[in-house]
Chain A
């Protein structure tokens, strides 16, 4: 059975801290791994990773994939209260973007 496991389930940090979120996967097939940010409404796309070792960055967020050890990390530096959200990791198994999601990590950033 395909599995996407995120850790930790939740964390609380103070503004300015750095957070590291983990996503590990055991799947029958792998095409890409995607990260989403979910606030009160809909998940919004952050990154798609297909190749090992190549870091993707967007502002204070960055992510990297390790296809040998089957995990990805999402880093958020200099956190702000607006970063508070559920961060979802998903794996695309067959290239048709039928995504298999993890349960998410809830990040709370306190002022």
Chain B
């Protein structure tokens, strides 16, 4: 079956613009996680949802970052007024238990 998909796969934006990154989890997966991965590092937790409820957003770096999952399926991570330091790979994962299935990520470059 289909895995976790993310779009766009690559996004180049100018500093100060807003971006929206989409995650389409595996059908039926209750939990959805957002991570950010810098080059040469492991993924860093941002936020997660069970169904449509955001359970923890302690990893979001500041209030320019927000996420939603309104119908308990697709999720959007939004970054407002992007800055160069926001450049990274943004990954999403979904699960029904301990095994998280990761998507291919969105490579965000802020110029």
Q: Which A residues have a C-beta under 8 Å from some C-beta of B?
A: 4, 32, 34, 41-45, 48, 88-90, 92, 96-104
Contact = CB atoms under 8 A, between A and B. Distances in A.
A72 to B, nearest CB: 14
B33 A97 contact: yes
Contacts, number: 57
Most buried by A among B33, B42, B99, B101: B42
Contacts of A42: 4, 91, 101-105
Given A98-B56, A100-B45, 15 more contacts: A34-B98, A42-B4, A42-B103, A44-B102, A88-B43, A89-B42, A90-B43, A96-B55, A96-B56, A98-B45, A98-B59, A99-B33, A99-B45, A99-B100, A102-B42
B98 A97 contact: yes
11 contacts: A4-B42, A42-B105, A45-B99, A96-B56, A98-B33, A98-B48, A99-B33, A100-B45, A101-B41, A102-B42, A104-B41
A43 B98 CA distance: 14
Interface of B: 4, 31, 33, 40-45, 48, 55-56, 59, 91, 95, 98-105
A52 to B, nearest CB: 18
A43 B37 CA distance: 11
Given A96-B48, A96-B55, A101 B98 contact: no
A97 B102 contact: no
B40 to A, nearest CB: 7
Nearest to B41: A103
A68 B41 CA distance: 26
B2 to A, nearest CB: 13
Contacts of B95: 97
A89 B102 CA distance: 15
